[in-house]
Amino acid sequence: MECSLGIKNKKIRIAFYKGPMNWRTWIVNWRTGGPYTHCELIMPSGDCIGISPEDSPPRIRMKRQEFPDDNWDFIDIMVDQIQIIKIIAFFNSTYGHRYDWFGMIMSYLLPWFIKHERKWYCSQWIATLLTVSDVYSFNYIKMSPTKLYDILSMKVNNGLIDGSVEDA
């Protein structure tokens, strides 16, 4: 499919983890109450970009990763070449930033949003990436993986975002 500028649309995937829990994913599940404890963005190339507390060290990175269907649900979103360029630019500008455990936990314990300028958690980073790349603008500060999934799946299912939802 091509848009009016002749730029081919491509698919990005957002993978939402719902598999077995360890102490880190248990904390996210306990705090958010939803089935998803982590999310990753998969580029059209198959490279996975994002941040995970399971990485050593936990920093924004790009890697290849397997996503067993029984542990992950997916939302596919169509993007154009300009959005891909913006996604890559945001990735490059945040590459190496660390995981924000303190900000994530304190933001859910307190009524205020706590955020370190150069630290992120997975769903917050993806929501910001989707906003700055003009895929979808998020106005939510406290973005858990489950909240991100709920918002994106509703927008896709209602035709507000061009894509599809794949629940295992």
pTM, full prediction: 0.84
- The mean pLDDT value for 81-102 works out to 88
Q: What does the pLDDT look like over 18-27, one tens digit per residue?
A: 977 777 777 7
Pair 141, 128: CB distance under 8 Å: no
| 2 pLDDT higher than 50 | no
Three-state SS letters, the chain: CECCCCCECEEEEEEEECCCCCHHHHHHHHHHCCCCCEEEEECCCCCEEECCCCCCCCECEEECCCCCCCCEEEEEEEECHHHHHHHHHHHHHHCCCEECHHHHHHHHHCCCCCCCCCEECHHHHHHHHHHHCCCCCCCCCCCCHHHHHHHHHHHHHCCCCCEEEECC
pLDDT top residue among 32 and 2: 32
| 127 pLDDT higher than 90 | yes
Give pLDDT, residue 52: 78
- The mean pLDDT value for 110-139 works out to 82
- The mean pLDDT value for 136-148 works out to 83
